Amino acid sequence: MSHGEALARERFSIPQGVIYLDGNSLGAMPKATPERLRALMREEWRTDLIASWTKHGWIDLPMTVAAKLAPVLGAKASELLVVDSTSVSLFKLLGAAVRARPGRTTILTQRHNFPTDLYVAQGLADMLGMTVKTVAADEIAEAIDESVAVVTLTHVDYRSGAVHDMAAVNQVARAAGALTCWDLSHSGGALALDLNGSDCDLAVGCGYKYLNGGPGAPAYIFIADALQDQLSPPLQGWMGHLDPFAFADDYAPARGIARFLTGTPSILALAAMECGIATFDGIAMTAIEARSRELTQGFIERVEDLCGGQVTLASPRDPARRGSHVSFAHPNGYAVMQALIERQVIGDFRAPDLLRFGFAPLYNDEAEVIRAADILGDIIRTGDWDSPRFHARGRVT
Ligand SMILES: *Cc1c(COP(=O)(O)O)cnc(C)c1O
């Protein structure tokens, strides 16, 4: 592989001519996924029917897929499950965390965290008579005191791409007796993580972004080994029972992380997720992180050259403090993004004024960085974005 090429473009099916810079929102489709789903339906569901739960290992998929995800996240297989959505998973982990810290009244998080993270925390706090405290990113450490049950943060900010120092926050939290729960939605599959090395307690993350698991793919949860038997899931379902097929009246938790299973897993979605994770096979996360920095850096430099002062970088300038996406502010960001999309450069818009571009080192390359920046420069220079057709808003941005 030569300098600037994508690390595994041949593993994806991306429409000709499209420069796809939205893999941080919905990862591109792996070539293997349609055939795997077709085979699952024909040879497993249709043919072996209910025997497939055992014969084809369906019942264990949340664990077997997690084991494949482990090296991508820098975690142990025994610490992961692939299950539910990120939002539901977050509720489960935060609920378990506050139960494990009785008497503490605060869930600490960051102002302008991803909305679902805030809403889940608020709902849980309302239910339990607790308080959600939100502070700015640089005020987290000083806000951690003995009233805090759990600190919950998104590792890479979904707007700016700014990265928290995970190990530093974990250390302060641990010293104060609080647990930490990280949302890795914009980190997993993009950065080289070391969850144990950074003393991470709990984490959740999204399957359909950099992990390429498909729309609405199951999320993942991480629970450090040492904590697993101390935590009780707030959603006690039969799949997390010690012996689900005993059909006992009373709940008894499974050992280890399996108690965080709730209901019957979505097998089609897990099969697609497995294909998404397989796109990382044989590629070191350090190589992905390094390439991500090259791509984002190249894009920032060229956009700033071409757009002069008309767009403002809204991401950290220091590559070590950035995730794998870059945001630029423009007062008419929505229309500018629509003009880009018409010219086959697909990023997204985040209110109030951000143009957001995600770089997935598995399938994005340097030529795309250059071409996307050139097209953006052209749209800004000519004012082409200022047309009525670019101002009409869709339901999903
Ligand atoms: C994408 C994303 C989610 C998505 O949650 P869902 O339950 O899958 O809709 C949650 N948190 C963050 C930080 C995200 O970026």
Nearest to 14 by CA among 374, 390, 366, 365: 365
Which atom belonging to ligand 1 lies closest to the Cα atom of 87?
Answer: 7
Taking a C-beta distance cutoff of 8 angstroms, is the pair 353, 30 a contact?
Answer: no
CA 166 from centroid of its chain's CA atoms: 15
Report CA(185)–ligand 1 centroid distance (Å): 6
Which atom belonging to ligand 1 lies closest to the Cα atom of 86?
Answer: 7
Residue 2 pLDDT: 53
DSSP-derived secondary structure letter, 27: P
Q: Mean pLDDT across the chain, nearest whole number?
A: 97
Q: What is the pLDDT of residues 137-163, one digit of tens each?
A: 999 999 999 999 999 999 999 999 999
Q: From CA 371, how far away is CA 368, in angstroms rounded? A: 5
Instruction: Determine which residue's CA is closest to atom 15 belonging to ligand 1.
Output: 185
Taking a C-beta distance cutoff of 8 angstroms, is the pair 85, 216 a contact?
Answer: yes
Distances (CA, A) of 375 to 43, 296, 350, 358: 46, 16, 20, 16
Tokens 């995730």, residue?
323
Q: What is the pLDDT of residues 26-74, one digit of tens each?
A: 999 999 999 999 999 999 999 999 999 999 999 999 999 999 999 999 9
Average pLDDT of 283-309?
97
Q: What is the pLDDT of residues 320-365, one digit of tens each?
A: 999 999 999 999 999 999 999 999 999 999 999 999 999 999 999 9
Query: Which of 90, 93, 112, 114 should be mutated for ligand 1, with most atoms under 8 A from CB?
Result: 114
Q: From CA 40, how far away is CA 135, in angstroms rounded? A: 47
**330: CB partners within 8 A, 6+ apart:** 310, 311, 312, 336, 353, 355, 380
Query: Which of 158, 160, 212, 266 should be mutated for ligand 1, with most atoms under 8 A from CB?
Result: 158
Q: What is the pLDDT of residues 356-397, one digit of tens each?
A: 999 999 999 999 999 999 999 999 999 999 999 999 887 887
Nearest to 12 by CA among 35, 26, 27, 31: 31
Q: Is the CB of 40 under 6 A from ligand 1?
A: no
DSSP-derived secondary structure letter, 49: G
**321: CB partners within 8 A, 6+ apart:** 162, 163
Q: Is the CB of 154 under 6 A from ligand 1?
A: yes
Q: Is the CB of 158 under 6 A from ligand 1?
A: yes
Dihedral of CA atoms 21, 397, 136, 73 in degrees, nearest 10, equals -40
Residue 395 pLDDT: 80
Q: Is 121 exposed, middle or buried (0-12, 13-18, 19+ CB in 10 A)?
A: buried
CA 214 from centroid of its chain's CA atoms: 13
Q: Is the CB of 87 under 6 A from ligand 1?
A: yes
Q: What is the pLDDT of residues 224-267, one digit of tens each?
A: 999 999 999 999 999 999 999 999 999 999 999 999 999 999 99
Domains (range + CATH), the chain: 9-30+284-391 (3.90.1150.10), 32-278 (3.40.640.10)
Residue 393 pLDDT: 83
Q: In which band, very low, low, confident or very high, does the pLDDT at 102 lie, cut at 50, 70 and 90?
A: very high
**153: CB partners within 8 A, 6+ apart:** 109, 110, 113, 140, 164, 169, 180, 182, 183
- Could you give the residue numbers annotated as active site? 114, 183, 208-209, 356
Report CA(372)–ligand 1 centroid distance (Å): 26
